[in-house]
């Protein structure tokens, strides 16, 4: 038995998640759409996210860590699961759990080729991120000596776009050209497009789509309206309300003080919950459609908001125990990201462990 308590409620719409996967798949109906579920399913819960995407039709999944892959394997026994960070455990351990590494150097390719039985893996080439993957000289060697892949079971040659959310950025076409020329030399299937890459056009689709963030509702086309459905809402209760006279400081170091008599509410939401201190005196929560600004510093467990300007005509004024919206129809993850000078990805993956989680 759990006791009901006054805490923030994170609602995750697994129906919308499945619909987002189908929308991305519909961008290139002939090309299988994988799902990137690293970092605990972008903060929304690896197991429920993986299961919802499997039900929607996804069959190939990407995680960053070997341990994430083991956790996913436990709930999706038949999925293809690939580990982006490379051959980060013994080759034997990958094979035993039926997991695929992304081989990111000739040395990793060599290790994988020493298996008794060939097992599937991806090979990553670096086309511009300078992060993981074979560098230019290793690519040249492999192109010249394709026999290095003899007896290997390579599912995809892959690479990752650095600026896919900027359609006008010339680096996209440059990365595409390098990917094309390398893949045509080896004649292997290609996995290239992340969420935003899918919207760069059919040239970028190749043989597998590899979206992450758009599945979770963030906008893969920041210059256009969001084609994705919203997946998360976060509603935060009011713990206490106080009437402040003019001239009182609020929060650590009194970075805000009342210029007039003010009605201040305290909410159990702090930087320990992933609500960045950057939101101090910057973000808003919502009561219905009315914005309620954060005033003072975000502290570890609490934040204060100013209710003074709320108009009672649309809905009654909020009372202790009522919930304000932090994420939902009024505020997308992309919008909230702006006041913390970050991106929707970081808002999602910072969602705290202290919220009550409800899966629809």
Ligand X SMILES: *Cc1c(COP(=O)(O)O)cnc(C)c1O
Told to judge if 204 belongs to the known catalytic residues of this protein, a careful annotator would answer no
Least distance to ligand X, CB of residue 12, Å = 17
Least distance to ligand X, CB of residue 297, Å = 31
Name the residue whose CB lies closest to ligand X. 212
Told to judge if 38 belongs to the known catalytic residues of this protein, a careful annotator would answer yes
Least distance to ligand X, CB of residue 300, Å = 29
- CA dist., res. 101 & res. 83, Å (int): 5
Least distance to ligand X, CB of residue 129, Å = 8
Is the CB of 15 or the CB of 163 nearer to ligand X? 163
Per-residue DSSP letters for 75-105? Answer: H-TTSEEEETT-S-S-HHHHHHTTEEEEE-S
Q: Which of 73, 80, 100, 160 binds ligand X (CB under 6 A)?
A: 160
| Contact in structure between 72 and 58 (CB atoms under 8 Å) | no
Question: Tokens for 79?
Answer: 């999925």
Question: Tokens for 163?
Answer: 């600026």
Is the CB of 62 or the CB of 355 nearer to ligand X? 62
Is the CB of 176 or the CB of 305 nearer to ligand X? 176
Q: Binding string, 181-220, against ligand X, x = CB under 6 A?
A: -------------xx--------------xxxxx------
Q: Which is the catalytic residue, given 38, 42, 216, 355?
A: 38
| Contact in structure between 83 and 64 (CB atoms under 8 Å) | yes
| Number of neighbouring beta carbons within 10 Å of residue 76 | 20
Q: Which of 24, 52, 63, 84 binds ligand X (CB under 6 A)?
A: 84
Contacts of ligand X in 33-72 (CB under 6 A): 36, 38
| Count of residues near ligand X by CB under 6 A | 11
SS (H, E, C) 193-253: CCHHHHCCCHHHCCCEECCCHHHHCCCCCCCCCCCCCCCEEEEEECCEEEEECCCCEECHH
**CA 55 → CA 77, 134, 154, distances in Å?**
13, 35, 27
Minimal CA–CA distance to 304: which of 236, 251, 235?
Answer: 251
Is the CB of 203 or the CB of 289 nearer to ligand X? 203
| Contact in structure between 332 and 287 (CB atoms under 8 Å) | no
Is the CB of 38 or the CB of 73 nearer to ligand X? 38
Examine residue 133 and tell whether it contacts ligand X (CB under 6 A): no
For binding to ligand X (CB under 6 A), which residues are involved? 36, 38, 84, 160, 194-195, 210-214
> Which residues have a catalytic role annotated?
38, 252
């Amino acid at each position: 038995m759990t006791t009901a308590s006054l805490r923030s409620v994170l609602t995750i719409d697994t129906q919308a998640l499945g619909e987002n996967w189908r929308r991305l798949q519909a961008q290139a109906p002939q090309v299988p759409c994988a799902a990137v579920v690293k970092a605990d399913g972008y903060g929304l819960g690896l197991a429920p996210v993986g299961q919802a995407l499997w039900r929607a039709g996804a069959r190939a999944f990407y995680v960053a860590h070997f341990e994430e892959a083991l956790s996913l394997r436990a709930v999706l026994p038949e999925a293809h699961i690939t580990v982006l960070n490379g051959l980060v455990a013994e080759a034997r351990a990958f094979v035993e759990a039926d997991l695929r590494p992304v081989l990111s150097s000739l040395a990793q390719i060599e290790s994988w080729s020493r298996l008794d039985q060939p097992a599937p893996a991806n090979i990553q080439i670096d086309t511009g991120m300078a992060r993981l993957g074979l560098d230019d000289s290793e690519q040249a060697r492999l192109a010249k000596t394709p026999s290095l892949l003899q007896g290997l079971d390579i599912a995809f040659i892959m690479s990752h776009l650095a600026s896919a959310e900027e359609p006008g950025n010339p680096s996209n076409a440059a990365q595409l050209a390098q990917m094309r020329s390398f893949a045509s030399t080896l004649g292997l299937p290609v996995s290239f497009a992340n969420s935003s890459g899918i919207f760069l056009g059919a040239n970028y689709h190749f043989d597998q789509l590899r979206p992450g963030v758009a599945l979770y509702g963030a906008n893969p086309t920041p210059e256009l309206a969001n084609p994705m459905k919203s997946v998360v809402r976060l509603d935060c209760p009011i713990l206490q309300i106080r009437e402040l006279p003019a001239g009182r400081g609020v929060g650590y170091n009194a970075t805000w003080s009342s210029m007039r008599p003010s009605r201040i509410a305290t909410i159990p939401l702090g930087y320990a919950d992933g609500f960045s201190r950057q939101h101090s005196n910057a973000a808003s929560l919502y009561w219905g459609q009315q914005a309620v600004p954060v005033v003072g510093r975000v502290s570890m467990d609490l934040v204060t908001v100013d209710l003074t300007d709320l108009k009672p005509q649309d809905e009654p004024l909020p009372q202790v125990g009522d919930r304000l919206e932090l994420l939902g129809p009024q505020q997308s993850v992309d919008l909230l990201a702006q006041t913390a000078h970050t991106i929707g990805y970081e808002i999602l993956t910072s969602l705290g462990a202290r919220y009550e989680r409800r899966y629809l």
